Amino acid sequence: MFEIIENTILAPNVHRLVVRAPRIARVRQPGQFVIVRADVHGERIPLTIGDADMAAGTITLFVQAVGTSTLQIVHTPVGGALQDVAGPLGSATEIEQWGRVACVGGGLGTAVLYPLAKALAEAGNEVTTIIGGRSAPYILLEDELQAFSRKVIVTTEDGSHGRQGFVTAALQELMEDPRRCPAVVFAVGPVPMMRAVCELTRPERIRTIVSLNPIMIDGTGMCGGCRVRVGEETKFACVDGPEFDGHLVDFKLLTDRLSMYREEECRMLSQLPEELRNQIVTVRR
């Protein structure tokens, strides 16, 4: 059992959990994830490790409740425990000194982006961070990212915070300015956002790394459920990723495969109390 030390709400249905997992805290690297099961009947849910405190033996997870299993995870109170936390899984981000790097996050993707951006900044890169969301409450970790970013640009669809519009517009401006144009772009967020970023950077041949979140079971390369098409090859996101060259990723296939259990998800949601269901439906849209 893995004890919950902290559980704070960052945005509607988005929680920051600090979990005691000393072994994982000791060895995890940016870009890696864990697989979590809330209880003995739960699904295995992959979650990015947002941060770790080696001395305290804890890891930080950012979790958005989008279904019954994630709902169960975020509702585990402080002092309670998660049944299983396995990891760190996946390949670590390749952190190099590229110079100017743009980190682009959308929605919960910002939380996945956070450890990468931090590691990139620590390695001496000049990090410009662009984060977007539907409206002000959905903007995550702005202050935390500010701590090490040269600049944080916020975009919201309704203009309630930062600039109105999408992250891609802000990225395009950055790319058009020769003094600020990034050598590498990291993009994490909903599939349409990552795809749009890749389409923007492709003609300019700006290296673009995306972090993929396909459906997963074991996280160790055993089942192949998380397979994604990258260039001419089929890759397993759990061991070969989760980060890939965005210009080679088949986003249509990823979108298709992510929709595999939509019917079951809807059925499970329909069994929830109305209030919880509405919360989730609002987040998922």
Partner 1 sequence: MKNNLQRENGRWGQRVLMPEQDHHLRCRNFDEVNLGLSEEAAIAEARRCLQCKSAPCIAGCPVAVDIPAFIAAVAGTRMAEAARILLADNTLPAICGRVCPQEEQCEGLCVLDRKGQAIAVGYLERFVADWALRHPEQLAPTVIPKASGKKVAVVGSGPAGLTVAGELARMGHEVIIYEALHDTGGVLRYGIPEFRLPKEIVDIEVARLAQLGVCIECNVVVGKTITLPKMRNEHDAVFIANGAGLPTMLNIPGENLKGVFSANEYLTRVNLMGAWRQDHATPIPRSRQVVVIGGGNTAMDAVRTARRLGAARAVILYRRSEAEMPARIEEIKHAKEEGVEFVMLTAPLEILGDNQGWVNGLRCQAMRLGEPDTSGRRRPVPVEGKVFELEAQVVVNAVGTGANPLLTATAPELGLNRWGNIEVDTTGQTNLAGVFAGGDIVRGGATVILAMGDGKRAAGAIDTYLQRCKGRPLM
Which of the residues 109 through 168 are near partner 1 (CB under 8 A)?
none
List CB contacts of 10: < 8 A, sequence separation 6 or more: 16, 62, 111, 140, 141
Cis peptide before 88 (omega within 30 of 0): yes
Which of the residues 225 through 254 are near partner 1 (CB under 8 A)?
225, 227, 229, 234, 239, 253
Q: What distance in Å separates the CA atoms of residue 29 and residue 26, rounded to the nearest whole number?
A: 9
Q: What would the x/- binding string for partner 1 be over residues 168 to 197, using CB under 8 A?
A: ------------------------------
Q: Does 23 bind partner 1 (CB under 8 A)?
A: yes
Residue 174 and residue 181 in contact, taking contact as beta carbons nearer than 8 Å: yes
Residue 280 and residue 13 in contact, taking contact as beta carbons nearer than 8 Å: yes
Q: Does 85 bind partner 1 (CB under 8 A)?
A: yes
User: In the structure encoding, which two tokens stand for residue 58, read together?
Assistant: 């804890």
Paired strand residues for 101: 127, 184
Burial string for 144-182 (b: 16+ CB within 10 Å, else e) reads: bbeebbeebbbbbeeeebbbeebbbbbbeebbeeeeeeb
Which of the residues 32 through 51 are near partner 1 (CB under 8 A)?
37, 41-44
- Taking the complex as a whole, the smallest distance from the CB of residue 284 to partner 1 amounts, in Å, to 17
Pairing of strands 163-164, 151-156: parallel
Q: Does 260 bind partner 1 (CB under 8 A)?
A: yes
- Taking the complex as a whole, the smallest distance from the CB of residue 224 to partner 1 amounts, in Å, to 4
Q: Does 221 bind partner 1 (CB under 8 A)?
A: yes
Return the residue of 146, 164, 259, 278 that touches partner 1, per CB under 8 A: 259
Nearer to partner 1, 3 or 265 (CB): 265
Candidates 123-131, 180-188, 193-201, 222-230 — which segment interacts with partner 1 by CB under 8 A?
222-230
- Taking the complex as a whole, the smallest distance from the CB of residue 135 to partner 1 amounts, in Å, to 31
Residue 37 and residue 45 in contact, taking contact as beta carbons nearer than 8 Å: yes
Q: Does 20 bind partner 1 (CB under 8 A)?
A: no
List CB contacts of 188: < 8 A, sequence separation 6 or more: 104, 105, 106, 109, 110, 112, 113, 116, 194, 210, 211
Total chain residues near partner 1 (CB under 8 A): 39
Q: Does 277 bind partner 1 (CB under 8 A)?
A: no
- Interface positions with partner 1 (CB under 8 A): 23-24, 27, 37, 41-44, 68-69, 83-89, 217-225, 227, 229, 234, 239, 253, 256-257, 259-261, 264-265, 268
